[in-house]
Structure formats: C-alpha cells, structure tokens
Amino acid sequence: MPLIALIEDNTDNRLLLLVILEGRYELVEYETGIAGLEGMLRELPDLVLLDISLPEVDGLEVLRRIRGNSRLRDLPVVALTAHAMAGDRERLLAAGFDDYIAKPIIDEKVLFDSIEGLLSRQPDSETRS
C-alpha cells in the first residue's frame, strides 16, 4: 500500500482525510512542517499532502525545504488549501507543487485522481510545460 505523508495542523481535516484515504493508502500524519520534514527523512513516503496554512513554517517553506533536500526533492507534493482564490492554482504549481486540492474536500474522486495520477507518474518521463 502506498505511503502518504499528511502534513496538516487541523485535527478535523486530518481525521477527514484519514477516513477518506484509509484502506487504499497507508497514512502517516504530521501536525507541523518541521515534524513532517523530520519524519519523512526517517520514513520516506510515496506522496505528500501538504497544508499551506501551517503555524511557524508554512506549506510554501516546507515545499522549499523538500525541494532542497536530496532525499525528498523528487516526492510528489499536493497542496491543500482553504484559501481558494483566483490564481491560487497557478501560483502553487509555479512554486513547485505537483497538484492542488481545495479544502473542504467535497469530491473524493478529485483527490483520488490526483493521488493516483502522481503515484503512477514515471520519475524519468516527467514533463513540465
């Protein structure tokens, strides 16, 4: 079962994602960006779901540290954000996220499609447009 790291400070959001994802994926949860970065170096996940709005070290900075770490840099990282505004998607993809999911998650299929698409991506055939 693929291992997904969920970095999210909100308990209700973590619980919701656990309920949605359990049975299909193994989930390891982190409440802060620092805990996530440390934990992922101990146990490398297959994909990261990363909340943008985190205390102290926010999601954009966590992503920068992921991309700057030789062991973590190729991980697929999906941004989770409640601040759905025009231009968000472009801004987050430009920052280096692989995909973007708006909270609250209403359509589970959008989440599954994103995860499955990224997990099936061949690292060497990755193309950026």
- Where along the sequence are the contacts to Mn ion (CB under 5 A)? 9, 51, 53
Query: Based on CB atoms, which residue is closest to Mn ion, 12 or 124?
Result: 12
Q: Indicate the residue whose CB is closest to Mn ion.
A: 53
Query: Based on CB atoms, which residue is closest to Mn ion, 9 or 88?
Result: 9
Amino acid at 92: L
For residue 40, the minimal CB distance to Mn ion (Å) is 18
Q: Hey, what's the torsion of the CAs at 74, 75, 78, 81, to 10 degrees?
A: -90
For residue 70, the minimal CB distance to Mn ion (Å) is 28
For residue 26, the minimal CB distance to Mn ion (Å) is 22
Query: Based on CB atoms, which residue is closest to Mn ion, 2 or 16?
Result: 16
| Residues whose CB is less than 8 angstroms from the CB of residue 33 and which lie 6 or more positions away in sequence, other chains included | 7, 54, 56, 57, 58, 59, 61, 62, 65
